[in-house]
Structure 1
Amino acid sequence: MTLHPPSKPAWNGLTETRQTLPSDAYLSDEAYRRDLDAIWYRHWIHACRASDLAEPRAFRLTRIGDQEILLLRHEDGSLCAFHNSCRHRGAALKSEECGRLAGRLIVCPYHAWSYSLDGALVRTSSKVLPDGFDKAAHGLHPVAVAEWRGFVFVNLSAAPGAAVDGFDSDPAMLANWPLERLERGPVYRKEIACNWKVFWDNYNECLHCPGVHPELSALVPIYGRGLMERRDDPAWQAHADDEAPQFSGRLRSGAETWSGDGSAKGRAFAGLTDENRQAGQSYVTHLPSFFVVGHVDYVRSVSLRPLGPARTELTAEWYFTQETRPETAEALDNVVAFGSLVLDQDAAICEINQRGLSALPHRHGTLMPEEYEIARFHAWVLSRTG
């Protein structure tokens, strides 16, 4: 997460001792319910790619906590979304993960109540309507939906604000990547035995990188120093103009991208600047559910879904354009296997973190100076959950 103030401090690190969130925030059913109600049901949540709903009348289900959302591409090309619940007696309207409506109606499989594509009730299966029944008052429950550069987000609260407001770093960082034109490649999906906040805690620091990610630390030498960026080092000013990878955050000498051997397996995106290429990885984070990373020859996204107090589903997807997609299966695997290795390592250490939180005497942890982004994340959580 990159919530730096407009004027960067001389050093990013925390200057005083801070506690983590209490252990109960990661363990209890009550805290999990509070997270759902205050965060996941009130913020914009990544749902899918717009290309997953390419055709008119294409639909797709997405799940957030115990809520099922039906996403639908209207015949006029717009996107709409509804709770997957019939207004008659609450039956699920769709059980398939995705598909395409046969006609211009959404028909409940239980009693055949039928709705137009904009959610209005068209007809019931009853022979006569009771006195006082108003069709207009029995349309599907709508859900706010928005697209950002080919990615689709939903918001269960319909609170004011746009999906783009949820970014914690400037989404313009990825302005030179053709996100709208990307085509999905391999998909990685894994259920992790940890609370969703444990994953973000791990994401927001690199003290663990030397021990947990030896391969990644070799590719990004500053990670091997337990740092995320130049100003994480309290002595950074001594190397302020040194562009060596261990100080600048760039990839190791000779490497081009995140892959098994560090070499690009497809052509680089045409619109990237020298700065984009030299960075090696450009992150944009959208709490609580999503981050996307631009590499020189592909884009990678990771999304989360909370499944319980100590269960989280993690989904990673690799994207290419026709021009940048690796030409051989071996080259593609070189890219995907490296990213999957890093995620497997993160998943394993997150599960270890979760297990230890259950120790009876453990009430909270202590943040070290390099974990300033965790402090900001915890402040974000507390500002919403109290």
Structure 2
Amino acid sequence: MFKQTPAPVPADGLAAALAPFGQSRMLPREAYVDPKVFDWEKQNIFGGWHCVGHAGDLDGVGAQKAVGSGSDGILLVRGEDGRVRAFANVCRHRGHELLACGASAKRRGIICPYHSWSYKLNGELRNAPAFDGISGPDPVEFGLTELALVDWHGYLFVDPSGSDGDFALHIAGLEEVVGPYRTEDLRVVARHSYELDTNWKVIVENYQECYHCSTIHPELSKISPPTSGENIDLPGDWMGGWMGMIDEAETMSLSGRSGGVAIKGLSEHELRTVMYLVGFPNLLVSLHPDYVMTHLMTPLAVDRTHVECAWAFPREALDKPGFDPSYAVDFWDLTNRQDWAACESVQRGLSSPHAQPGPLAPDEDGVYQFVTRVARAYMGSR
């Protein structure tokens, strides 16, 4: 997945991060504040398998959506065969973006807005205006550049490098964890976008522990005791763990009550817990008894990250008269904002030249999972 050129991070700092749990330290300060490290991550970590959205965002044949920009620009397209494909968001004529970043369209072809070159939904060149009557561009040779894409339970993963290996290795051990929630059948009914003044890794590290919960999340702690649950050990690139709820609670909400319906087929354990997963590097998946929440992170700079939070519910919930998803959305928007304030404060602290990597508490083994994953990536291995 990663180039053999190591990241510009002090080797002794990586060794400290990779020491056995209980003796290790956090990543070196440079990992959070040095633009050169960020540039390395964009090319090496985000150049491999990472999530770019949900298949439900591309509704029907011809649906198109542009994500990322510049060297990260990707065009997602649902073809005539119903498949979603990913292409570099680059016209083969003069390089113009086919859609602006974040824009969507729905049409029977892909049309460049600069000189009107058009492509079929499978990426093959359809028409190059003004080339009629002469030897024009070859439809195959000048088709769009397709990128490796996998639709896994509705989540779309792209490997822009084409060299990150078998996707099955990326999600090894996850089928029995995510499968029962049937995320591909859930409907996203609410989204919130946040732009944070913090490094993307700070967000994941915060997500991977509840050591902070009793301090900044009184509402969450009332429903889900901070010391409940445990982390799981997965053989692939994902990590995470579950937390329990108090006996009186049905789900994570301000009251503990659910305004929806339980996802069919879940086990008793799944109905009493929330599973929190990190889809390395940029997808956070929170599996609740009655809904699934995701945080999709897009790193914008070493100290800036865009996060889209989405809430998806079973279709049966949407059919309930007067269904209102705010019981889940309001709870997590409050919790998110509490987390964001903490993450931004961490980033400001790490910007100080006096910041030094600290030790991990006994309850931060989930952070250790993530830190060591990143440290190994910096060194050029999994």
Give the TM-score taking structure 2 as reference length: 0.84
Aligned residue number for residue 303 of structure 2: 310
Structure 1 residues 253 and 56, CA, compared in 2 at 3 Å: closer, same or farther? same
Q: Of residues 284, 288, 293 in structure 2, which corresponds to 1:295?
A: 288
Which deviates more from structure 2 when the two are superposed, residues 161-170 or residues 44-53? 161-170
Structure 1 residues 352 and 327, CA, compared in 2 at 3 Å: closer, same or farther? farther
**Letter of the aligned partner of 2:260 in structure 1?**
G
Aligned residue number for residue 138 of structure 1: 142
**Letter of the aligned partner of 1:112 in structure 2?**
S
Q: How does 1:278-289 map to 2 (within 5 A)?
A: 278=272, 280-289=273-282
Aligned residue number for residue 245 of structure 1: none
CA distance in 2, matches of 1:311, 1:168: 30
Offset of 1:130 from its aligned partner? 8.9
| Conserved 8 A contact 1:26-1:309 | yes
Aligned: 1:211 with 2:204: no
- 1:313 aligns to what SS in structure 2? strand
Offset of 1:200 from its aligned partner? 1.0
Aligned residue number for residue 42 of structure 2: 36
Aligned: 1:274 with 2:268: yes
Structure 1 residues 200 and 251, CA, compared in 2 at 3 Å: closer, same or farther? same
Unaligned runs of 5+ in 2: 1-19, 233-241
Aligned residue number for residue 3 of structure 1: none
Q: Of residues 243, 250, 258 in structure 2, which corresponds to 1:256?
A: 250
Structure 1 residues 339 and 28, CA, compared in 2 at 3 Å: closer, same or farther? same
CA distance in 2, matches of 1:64, 1:283: 29
| Cα deviation digits, residues 90-121 of structure 1 (max 9, x gap) | 111122711212x3x32222122222222223
Identical aligned residues as a percent: 32
| Cα deviation digits, residues 301-358 of structure 1 (max 9, x gap) | 11111011100111111111231246436x5222211111111111110000000001
Structure 1 residues 100 and 348, CA, compared in 2 at 3 Å: closer, same or farther? same
Structure 1 residues 249 and 74, CA, compared in 2 at 3 Å: closer, same or farther? closer
Aligned residue number for residue 75 of structure 1: 80
Structure 1 residues 249 and 200, CA, compared in 2 at 3 Å: closer, same or farther? closer
| Cα deviation digits, residues 21-71 of structure 1 (max 9, x gap) | 1111111110110110110112x2222221222311111111178521111
Aligned: 1:351 with 2:355: no
Aligned residue number for residue 360 of structure 1: 353
**Letter of the aligned partner of 2:91 in structure 1?**
C
Aligned residue number for residue 381 of structure 1: 374
Structure 1 residues 60 and 324, CA, compared in 2 at 3 Å: closer, same or farther? same
Structure 1 residues 249 and 153, CA, compared in 2 at 3 Å: closer, same or farther? closer
| Cα deviation digits, residues 255-293 of structure 1 (max 9, x gap) | 110011001112222312212112x21233311111222
| Cα deviation digits, residues 338-383 of structure 1 (max 9, x gap) | 1111111111100000000011122423223322222221221122
Offset of 1:127 from its aligned partner? 4.1
Aligned residue number for residue 148 of structure 1: 152
Aligned residue number for residue 6 of structure 1: none
- 1:143 aligns to what SS in structure 2? strand
Aligned: 1:85 with 2:79: no
| Conserved 8 A contact 2:147-2:158 | yes
Offset of 1:131 from its aligned partner? 8.4
Which deviates more from structure 2 when the two are superposed, residues 190-199 or residues 178-187? 178-187
| Conserved 8 A contact 2:46-2:281 | yes
| Conserved 8 A contact 2:93-2:117 | yes
| Conserved 8 A contact 2:30-2:37 | yes
**Letter of the aligned partner of 2:295 in structure 1?**
V
CA distance in 2, matches of 1:192, 1:271: 37
CA distance in 1, matches of 2:231, 2:378: 33
CA distance in 2, matches of 1:180, 1:134: 38
| Conserved 8 A contact 1:265-1:332 | yes
| Conserved 8 A contact 1:189-1:314 | yes
- 1:366 aligns to what SS in structure 2? coil
Structure 1 residues 118 and 274, CA, compared in 2 at 3 Å: closer, same or farther? same
Task: Return the index of the structure with the highest Cα Rg.
Answer: 1
Aligned residue number for residue 237 of structure 1: none
Unaligned runs of 5+ in 1: 1-13, 232-247
| Conserved 8 A contact 2:118-2:125 | yes
- How large is the RMSD of aligned CA atoms in angstroms? 2.6
| Conserved 8 A contact 2:21-2:368 | no
CA distance in 2, matches of 1:298, 1:355: 34
Q: How does 1:44-83 map to 2 (within 5 A)?
A: 44-63=49-68, 66-83=71-88
CA distance in 1, matches of 2:357, 2:251: 38
- 1:180 aligns to what SS in structure 2? helix
CA distance in 1, matches of 2:349, 2:250: 38
Q: Of residues 27, 31, 46 in structure 2, which corresponds to 1:25?
A: 31
Q: How does 1:213-252 map to 2 (within 5 A)?
A: 213-221=217-225, 223=226, 225=227, 229=230, 249-252=243-246
Give the TM-score taking structure 1 as reference length: 0.83
Q: How does 1:185-204 map to 2 (within 5 A)?
A: 185-204=189-208
- 1:338 aligns to what SS in structure 2? helix
Offset of 1:228 from its aligned partner? 5.4
Structure 1 residues 35 and 15, CA, compared in 2 at 3 Å: closer, same or farther? closer
- 1:340 aligns to what SS in structure 2? helix
